[in-house]
Amino acid sequence: MFYIKPFCFSIFVFLFMSPISHAQESYILGAGDKISIKVFGQDDLSIESFLGNSGSVNYPFLGDVKVVGLSIKQVELFITQGLKGDYLVNPNVYVQVIEYRPFYIHGEVKKPGGYPYQPGMTINQAVALAGGLTDRADTDKIALYREAEKKLRQHATLQHNVSAGDTITIEQRFF
Protein backbone atom coordinates (compact mmCIF):
# COMPACT_ATOMS: atom_id res chain seq x y z
CA MET A 1 0.00 0.00 0.00
CA PHE A 2 2.90 2.37 0.72
CA TYR A 3 4.18 2.07 -2.87
CA ILE A 4 0.78 2.78 -4.39
CA LYS A 5 0.39 6.18 -2.75
CA PRO A 6 3.46 7.81 -4.32
CA PHE A 7 2.47 6.33 -7.66
CA CYS A 8 -1.09 7.69 -7.35
CA PHE A 9 0.28 11.07 -6.31
CA SER A 10 2.55 11.09 -9.38
CA ILE A 11 -0.39 10.32 -11.64
CA PHE A 12 -2.44 13.05 -9.95
CA VAL A 13 0.33 15.63 -10.43
CA PHE A 14 0.83 14.59 -14.05
CA LEU A 15 -2.87 14.71 -14.94
CA PHE A 16 -3.67 17.98 -13.23
CA MET A 17 -0.46 19.95 -13.66
CA SER A 18 0.41 19.05 -17.26
CA PRO A 19 -2.38 21.15 -18.84
CA ILE A 20 -1.04 24.20 -16.99
CA SER A 21 2.54 23.61 -18.07
CA HIS A 22 1.41 22.82 -21.62
CA ALA A 23 -0.62 26.05 -21.70
CA GLN A 24 2.44 28.04 -20.70
CA GLU A 25 4.71 26.21 -23.18
CA SER A 26 2.35 26.94 -26.09
CA TYR A 27 1.67 30.52 -24.93
CA ILE A 28 2.66 33.08 -27.58
CA LEU A 29 4.66 35.97 -26.14
CA GLY A 30 3.55 39.54 -26.78
CA ALA A 31 4.33 43.11 -25.83
CA GLY A 32 3.42 43.62 -22.18
CA ASP A 33 4.60 40.22 -20.94
CA LYS A 34 7.42 39.94 -18.40
CA ILE A 35 9.63 36.88 -18.84
CA SER A 36 12.48 35.17 -17.06
CA ILE A 37 15.23 33.32 -18.92
CA LYS A 38 17.50 31.02 -16.93
CA VAL A 39 20.34 28.70 -17.85
CA PHE A 40 20.96 25.96 -15.30
CA GLY A 41 24.29 26.48 -13.54
CA GLN A 42 24.93 29.82 -15.26
CA ASP A 43 23.61 32.61 -13.04
CA ASP A 44 25.27 35.26 -15.21
CA LEU A 45 23.01 34.19 -18.11
CA SER A 46 19.78 34.61 -16.13
CA ILE A 47 17.67 37.67 -16.97
CA GLU A 48 14.19 39.06 -16.38
CA SER A 49 12.78 41.33 -19.03
CA PHE A 50 9.61 43.26 -19.75
CA LEU A 51 8.68 42.90 -23.42
CA GLY A 52 8.09 46.27 -25.00
CA ASN A 53 6.89 47.18 -28.49
CA SER A 54 10.24 46.20 -30.02
CA GLY A 55 9.55 42.60 -29.04
CA SER A 56 13.21 41.94 -28.26
CA VAL A 57 15.32 41.19 -25.22
CA ASN A 58 19.02 41.94 -24.95
CA TYR A 59 20.52 38.57 -24.04
CA PRO A 60 24.17 38.00 -23.05
CA PHE A 61 26.36 36.73 -25.92
CA LEU A 62 23.43 36.77 -28.36
CA GLY A 63 22.49 40.47 -28.39
CA ASP A 64 18.95 41.48 -29.30
CA VAL A 65 16.72 38.42 -29.54
CA LYS A 66 13.22 38.95 -30.98
CA VAL A 67 10.84 36.88 -28.83
CA VAL A 68 7.41 38.46 -29.44
CA GLY A 69 5.31 36.11 -31.55
CA LEU A 70 7.23 33.04 -30.38
CA SER A 71 6.17 30.34 -27.94
CA ILE A 72 8.10 29.64 -24.74
CA LYS A 73 9.50 26.44 -26.28
CA GLN A 74 10.65 28.30 -29.41
CA VAL A 75 12.52 30.87 -27.30
CA GLU A 76 14.14 28.09 -25.22
CA LEU A 77 15.26 26.30 -28.40
CA PHE A 78 16.58 29.50 -30.01
CA ILE A 79 18.64 30.46 -26.96
CA THR A 80 19.86 26.89 -26.48
CA GLN A 81 21.08 26.77 -30.09
CA GLY A 82 22.68 30.22 -29.77
CA LEU A 83 24.65 29.26 -26.66
CA LYS A 84 25.53 25.71 -27.69
CA GLY A 85 29.04 25.12 -28.92
CA ASP A 86 30.70 28.53 -28.74
CA TYR A 87 29.69 29.27 -25.15
CA LEU A 88 28.35 26.11 -23.49
CA VAL A 89 28.51 22.39 -24.25
CA ASN A 90 24.90 21.49 -23.45
CA PRO A 91 22.95 24.49 -22.09
CA ASN A 92 19.76 23.79 -20.17
CA VAL A 93 17.58 26.84 -20.88
CA TYR A 94 14.31 27.56 -19.09
CA VAL A 95 11.95 30.39 -20.06
CA GLN A 96 8.96 31.37 -17.93
CA VAL A 97 6.30 34.06 -18.09
CA ILE A 98 6.44 35.94 -14.79
CA GLU A 99 3.66 38.38 -15.61
CA TYR A 100 1.17 38.08 -18.46
CA ARG A 101 -0.05 41.04 -20.48
CA PRO A 102 -3.57 42.10 -19.50
CA PHE A 103 -6.90 41.41 -21.14
CA TYR A 104 -9.57 44.11 -21.37
CA ILE A 105 -13.26 44.01 -20.54
CA HIS A 106 -15.81 46.76 -21.05
CA GLY A 107 -19.49 47.32 -21.56
CA GLU A 108 -22.02 46.12 -19.01
CA VAL A 109 -19.66 45.15 -16.17
CA LYS A 110 -19.35 46.99 -12.88
CA LYS A 111 -15.62 47.81 -13.16
CA PRO A 112 -14.51 47.88 -16.81
CA GLY A 113 -10.80 48.03 -17.59
CA GLY A 114 -7.65 45.99 -18.01
CA TYR A 115 -6.99 43.01 -15.74
CA PRO A 116 -4.11 40.55 -15.31
CA TYR A 117 -4.50 37.46 -17.47
CA GLN A 118 -4.16 33.94 -16.07
CA PRO A 119 -3.91 30.81 -18.27
CA GLY A 120 -7.19 28.94 -18.63
CA MET A 121 -9.33 31.98 -17.83
CA THR A 122 -12.89 32.10 -19.14
CA ILE A 123 -15.10 35.10 -19.86
CA ASN A 124 -17.12 34.21 -16.76
CA GLN A 125 -13.97 34.54 -14.62
CA ALA A 126 -13.07 37.79 -16.39
CA VAL A 127 -16.52 39.16 -15.54
CA ALA A 128 -15.96 38.20 -11.89
CA LEU A 129 -12.69 40.16 -11.86
CA ALA A 130 -14.56 43.14 -13.28
CA GLY A 131 -17.02 43.12 -10.35
CA GLY A 132 -19.78 41.17 -12.08
CA LEU A 133 -22.42 42.08 -14.63
CA THR A 134 -24.65 45.13 -14.39
CA ASP A 135 -28.44 44.73 -14.29
CA ARG A 136 -28.65 45.64 -17.97
CA ALA A 137 -26.07 43.12 -19.22
CA ASP A 138 -27.10 40.76 -22.00
CA THR A 139 -25.20 37.47 -21.73
CA ASP A 140 -26.36 36.59 -25.26
CA LYS A 141 -24.50 39.60 -26.65
CA ILE A 142 -20.87 39.06 -25.71
CA ALA A 143 -18.23 40.05 -28.25
CA LEU A 144 -14.67 38.78 -28.10
CA TYR A 145 -11.89 40.50 -30.04
CA ARG A 146 -8.71 38.40 -30.18
CA GLU A 147 -5.46 40.31 -29.84
CA ALA A 148 -4.15 39.13 -33.20
CA GLU A 149 -7.42 40.01 -34.98
CA LYS A 150 -8.66 43.15 -33.17
CA LYS A 151 -11.14 44.05 -35.92
CA LEU A 152 -12.67 40.56 -36.11
CA ARG A 153 -15.62 40.31 -33.77
CA GLN A 154 -16.44 36.83 -32.44
CA HIS A 155 -19.70 35.98 -30.72
CA ALA A 156 -18.85 34.42 -27.34
CA THR A 157 -20.46 32.93 -24.27
CA LEU A 158 -19.45 33.08 -20.62
CA GLN A 159 -17.67 29.74 -21.08
CA HIS A 160 -15.30 30.91 -23.86
CA ASN A 161 -11.60 31.06 -23.02
CA VAL A 162 -9.84 34.39 -22.87
CA SER A 163 -6.27 34.93 -24.06
CA ALA A 164 -3.81 37.60 -22.99
CA GLY A 165 -4.42 40.84 -24.85
CA ASP A 166 -8.03 39.99 -25.77
CA THR A 167 -10.87 42.51 -25.47
CA ILE A 168 -14.31 41.48 -24.22
CA THR A 169 -17.42 43.61 -24.72
CA ILE A 170 -20.65 42.85 -22.86
CA GLU A 171 -23.54 44.61 -24.54
CA GLN A 172 -26.69 46.08 -23.03
CA ARG A 173 -30.07 44.38 -23.28
CA PHE A 174 -33.27 46.22 -23.95
CA PHE A 175 -36.28 45.56 -21.74
Q: What is the pLDDT of residues 22-65, one digit of tens each?
A: 455 679 999 999 999 999 999 999 999 999 999 999 999 899 99
Task: Tell me which residue of 99, 122, 108, 115 sits closest to 174, measured CA to CA.
Answer: 108
Q: What is the pLDDT of residue 17?
A: 43
> For position 2, what pLDDT does the model report?
42
CA distances for 9 relative to 13, 15, 52, 140, angstroms = 6, 10, 41, 41
Strand order in the sheet with 153-156: 113-115, 103-107, 167-172, 137-145, 153-156
pTM for the structure as a whole: 0.76
Domains and their CATH numbers in the chain = 4-99 (3.30.1950.10), 103-172 (3.10.560.10)
Query: Residue 89: which pLDDT band, with cuts at 50, 70 and 90?
Result: confident
Q: How confident is the prediction for the chain on average, in pLDDT?
A: 86
Q: What are the tens digits of pLDDT across the range 123-154?
A: 999 999 999 999 999 999 999 999 877 778 89
The answer on pLDDT for 86 being more than 80 is no
